[in-house]
């Protein structure tokens, strides 16, 4: 495999120069600053899929040549994933699922807390690392510190208060709202001291920083790590949960059916060895091929290089954003070393949904706005009072009236041109120099420019009708 560099990663991105329509009838390249939601795909990922597909076959249940090739390829992908996060090949297994949400739900159902046990999580989590735990047991939420990261004193208190009963500490590696990187190895050491395991939701971390699970006998060892392929340049419907095989040998799998068993009679079922026990049904082999290739590429560049490139870019972006009149930035703004490349902000007297719409309509810049599936954290950052929260709820489904921000988020391939395009358009919005006339749809809370209905690519959307 050719050794890649940070600079060459830009050439790896599919669709980077695809022209998109903007207000006024012109076209320009899309400025992709929505990587925290999903990244675009690497070209080599597509090439790896194309190379594999002639050999595609169902895996594990066939003796045919292609089934054997596909099985070998599939098994190999698990090794790549394990290596990427520094898992122990003798003790850990890589379980595939659809995405982070699905895999956390699976783990929550698998873990169960029993009548006395608890799971500790934080108030900065994505809903996907909060609601599954609530569904399957008792959850203790700990707060955040003044910078927006986990409050380590509150964690110590909670571990002491529930000593002997904490089954798991479930924490984000990095926040999808502020980008704050939690000190996961420190959290792990505290968790282990009190007999608990740790799960790191690495959905926002793994594409931006090196993730190392560390040896099992290291106090800072990460027991479980989970992430999604679509946030790491492999958007092909796959996610991975890495954790100890011994854990999955206890009890019974969440999802049961073909592939998860080694013996079935009317009265008896013997579960297959993990990870197969956790993957009932036919697995997403193509997704696994895609994921492994994306990880190989990032591994060949080196995650340290990715991290330093993104850090330099978020510093550049933050410095420029500070100059925008009326802007408020959130999270650890003054300390780019403890965050990934996410810039959450609001503009005075301009709805977050309107800002995001103008960025797209007139600047061709793709960002995201809203609460980013982290409503509790969002309310805390925006200091929404309980009264205001109540009033907001009464305003029903008008999403623009809900507390929210705009979020620009970087990937390994973004450069200063992308940031300049974003800041340039943002400056115009702040100075009220945008050209369009925007109306809100009260049913959806989204904005639209009065006369702008861009056509979608005809081959993709019936008749190319715009929206």
Ligand X SMILES: Cc1ncc(COP(=O)(O)O)c(C=O)c1O
Which residues lie near ligand X (CB under 6 A)? 99-101, 126, 128-129, 172, 176, 201, 203-204, 228, 230
Phi-psi label, residue 377: left if phi above 0, alpha if psi -120 to 50, beta otherwise: alpha
Q: Which is nearer to ligand X, 137 or 235 (CB)?
A: 235
Q: Which is nearer to ligand X, 320 or 366 (CB)?
A: 366
Q: Are 37 and 373 in contact (CB under 8 A)?
A: no
Count of C-beta atoms within a 10 Å radius of residue 71: 17
Closest separation in Å from C-beta 143 to ligand X: 17
Closest separation in Å from C-beta 126 to ligand X: 4
- CA dist 287 and 277 (Å) reads 19
Question: Residue 433 corresponds to which tokens in the numbers above?
Answer: 């120099």
Q: Which is nearer to ligand X, 172 or 277 (CB)?
A: 172
Q: Are 204 and 173 in contact (CB under 8 A)?
A: yes
DSSP-assigned beta bridge partners for residue 178: none
Q: Which is nearer to ligand X, 100 or 361 (CB)?
A: 100
Closest separation in Å from C-beta 125 to ligand X: 7
Closest separation in Å from C-beta 357 to ligand X: 21
Q: Which is nearer to ligand X, 9 or 36 (CB)?
A: 36
First vs last C-alpha separation in the chain: 42
Number of H helices, E strands in the chain: 14, 19
Closest separation in Å from C-beta 58 to ligand X: 25
Q: Which is nearer to ligand X, 191 or 228 (CB)?
A: 228
- CA dist 181 and 173 (Å) reads 6
Give the angle 128-182-344 at the CA atoms, nearest 5°.
70
Closest separation in Å from C-beta 291 to ligand X: 12
Q: Is 452 helix (H, G, I), strand (E, B) or coil?
A: coil
Closest separation in Å from C-beta 21 to ligand X: 27
DSSP-assigned beta bridge partners for residue 259: none
- Positive/negative CA dihedral, 230, 260, 68, 244: positive
Q: Are 40 and 366 in contact (CB under 8 A)?
A: no
Closest separation in Å from C-beta 398 to ligand X: 23
Q: Which is nearer to ligand X, 35 or 361 (CB)?
A: 35
Q: Which is nearer to ligand X, 6 or 109 (CB)?
A: 109
Closest separation in Å from C-beta 88 to ligand X: 24
Q: Which is nearer to ligand X, 128 or 361 (CB)?
A: 128
Closest to 121 in 3D by CA, of 209, 193, 187 = 187
Closest separation in Å from C-beta 415 to ligand X: 23
Q: Which is nearer to ligand X, 179 or 445 (CB)?
A: 179
Residue 414: HSE in the Cβ half-sphere, 13 Å Cα cutoff: 33
Count of C-beta atoms within a 10 Å radius of residue 334: 9
- CA dist 175 and 305 (Å) reads 21
Count of C-beta atoms within a 10 Å radius of residue 192: 17
Closest to 45 in 3D by CA, of 268, 230, 228 = 230
């Amino acid at each position: 495999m050719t050794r890649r560099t940070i600079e060459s990663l830009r050439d790896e991105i599919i669709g980077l120069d695809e022209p998109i329509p903007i207000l006024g009838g012109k076209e320009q390249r899309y400025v992709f600053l929505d990587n925290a939601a999903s990244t675009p795909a690497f070209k080599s990922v597509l090439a790896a899929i194309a190379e594999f597909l002639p050999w595609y076959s169902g895996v594990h249940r066939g003796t045919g040549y292609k089934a054997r090739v596909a099985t070998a390829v599939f098994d190999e992908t698990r090794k790549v994933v394990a290596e990427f996060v520094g898992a122990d090949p003798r003790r850990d297994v890589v379980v595939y699922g659809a995405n982070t949400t699905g895999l956390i739900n699976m783990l929550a159902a698998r873990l169960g807390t029993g009548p006395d046990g608890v799971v500790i999580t934080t108030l900065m989590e994505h809903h996907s690392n909060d609601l599954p735990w609530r569904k399957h047991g008792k959850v203790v939420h700990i707060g955040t510190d003044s910078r927006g990261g986990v409050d380590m004193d509150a964690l110590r208190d909670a571990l002491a208060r529930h000593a002997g009963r904490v089954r798991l500490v479930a924490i984000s590696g990095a926040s999808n709202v502020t980008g704050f990187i939690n000190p996961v190895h420190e959290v792990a050491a505290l968790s282990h001291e009190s007999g608990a395991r740790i799960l790191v939701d690495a959905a926002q971390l793994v594409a931006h920083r090196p993730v190392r699970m560390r040896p099992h006998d290291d106090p800072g060892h990460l027991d479980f790590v989970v992430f999604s392929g679509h946030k790491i340049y492999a958007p092909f419907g796959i996610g991975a949960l890495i954790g100890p095989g011994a854990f999955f040998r206890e009890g019974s799998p969440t999802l049961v059916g073909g592939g998860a068993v080694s013996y079935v009679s009317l009265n008896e079922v013997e579960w297959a060895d993990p990870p197969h026990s956790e993957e009932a049904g036919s697995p997403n082999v193509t997704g696994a091929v895609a994921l492994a290739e994306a990880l190989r590429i990032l591994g060949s560049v080196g995650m340290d290089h990715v991290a330093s490139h993104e850090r330099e870019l978020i510093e550049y972006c933050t410095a420029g954003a500070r100059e925008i009149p009326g802007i408020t930035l959130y999270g650890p703004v003054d300390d780019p070393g403890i965050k990934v490349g996410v810039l959450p902000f609001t503009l005075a007297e301009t709805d977050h949904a309107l800002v995001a719409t103008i960025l797209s309509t007139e600047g061709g810049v793709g960002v995201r706005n809203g609460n980013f599936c982290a409503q509790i954290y969002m309310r805390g950052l925006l200091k929404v009072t309980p009264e205001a929260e109540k009033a907001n709820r009464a305003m029903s489904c008008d999403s623009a009236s809900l507390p929210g921000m705009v979020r620009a988020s970087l990937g390994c391939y973004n450069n200063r041109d992308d940031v300049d395009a974003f800041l340039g358009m943002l400056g115009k919005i702040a100075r009220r120099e945008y050209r369009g006339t925007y109306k809100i749809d009260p049913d959806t809370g989204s904005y639209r420019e009065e006369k702008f209905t861009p056509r979608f690519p005809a081959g993709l959307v019936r008749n190319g009708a715009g929206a």
